[in-house]
Amino acid sequence: MSGERAKLRPVDLARLAGVSTQQIRNYADAGILPPAPRTAAGYRRFDARHRRALVTYRALARGYGWDTARSVMQAVHAGDLPTALALVDAAHAALHEQRLSLRAAGEALEAVAGQTPEIPASPRSGMRVGEVAAHLGVRASALRVWESAGLLTPKREPGTGYRRFGPDDVRDARMVDMLRRSHYPFPQIRLVLDDLRRTGGRDALRAAIEQRRAELTRRATAMLEGSSHLHDYLEGGEPPPGPSR
């Protein structure tokens, strides 16, 4: 097609993406753009296909990240479509796992927030492991396993070494118990607890969860857009309309 063979200068592609002409050369050298023939003087000759590759790469990067976008385009131009699609699939699977972890955090938080029994603990000394086990209706051995897994960090009494659980420790143990009953693995539970400790409270964690949910939604939308660009690029058509940056 004559449009596909239309000559484009590196500066034309650079302006399209808002990068330098050297960056365009780097993209070509890295395989992000398809191979470009050279003139007798050694200058690269770009055309509409290179423009489409550039737009596709930038669209992929918005959803999948620069590293994955680079690897996808390199695989496509190496003729390895299965690897390119596997990278896309892996990114979607990772996003799904993040959604599951986020949902676990939200469910656990609301479950804990819905429980209001008083914690019979002295601010000075806290509760011993047997008292916490009875309070939560779990075995003391389960609390020790959770501690060994790094999920709980009760203080120890000087001299005796007995565990002392403060209100935050009991809260964490209750959350671990709820998530374990729902068959959540330790790594996901650790993420929930880390978020709760980092934000410092339920309201802050609830707000952080909502913010993270919105971020994942934006990323999923960007991934969908990037996939659309990739499909059109593979089919040899024009990329769908949208921002180039």
DSSP letter for 149, please. T
Helix axis angle for 48-64 and 10-17, nearest 10°, is: 30
Are 87 and 161 within one domain? no
**Across residues 174-188, what is the average pLDDT?**
78
Asked whether residue 213 is domain-assigned, the answer is no
Which pLDDT band, with edges at 50, 70 and 90, does 116 fall under?
very low
The pTM of the full predicted model, rounded to 2 decimals, is 0.65
Domain region containing 146: 117-201
Asked whether residue 230 is domain-assigned, the answer is yes
pLDDT tens-digit readout, 1-44: 444 556 888 888 888 888 899 999 999 999 999 998 888 888 88
Are 85 and 11 within one domain? yes
109/115 Cα distance (integer angstroms): 10
Are 26 and 76 within one domain? yes
pLDDT tens-digit readout, 200-239: 666 766 777 788 889 899 999 999 999 999 999 999 855 5
In this structure, what CATH number is given to the domain that contains residue 164?
A: 1.10.1660.10
Neighbouring residues of 202: CB distance < 8 A, sequence distance ≥ 6: 109, 112, 113, 196
Asked whether residue 102 is domain-assigned, the answer is no
Determine the pLDDT at residue 203.
Answer: 72
Nearest to 65 by CA among 210, 207, 197, 226: 226
At which residue do the structure tokens 């938080």 appear? 109
Which pLDDT band, with edges at 50, 70 and 90, does 81 fall under?
very high
Determine the pLDDT at residue 204.
Answer: 66
42: region left, alpha or beta (phi > 0 left; psi from -120 to 50 alpha): left
Are 82 and 26 within one domain? yes
Determine the pLDDT at residue 42.
Answer: 81
Number of domains forming the structure of the chain: 2
**Across residues 152-164, what is the average pLDDT?**
87
Asked whether residue 208 is domain-assigned, the answer is no
Nearest to 88 by CA among 217, 215, 188, 220: 220
Neighbouring residues of 184: CB distance < 8 A, sequence distance ≥ 6: 104
Are 195 and 230 within one domain? no
**Taking all residues of the chain, what is their mean pLDDT, rounded to a whole number?**
83
Beta-bridge partners for 127:
165
Does position 113 have pLDDT exceeding 70, yes or no?
no
Max mean pLDDT range (121-130, 155-164, 173-182): 155-164
Are 121 and 85 within one domain? no
Are 13 and 79 within one domain? yes
233/54 Cα distance (integer angstroms): 10
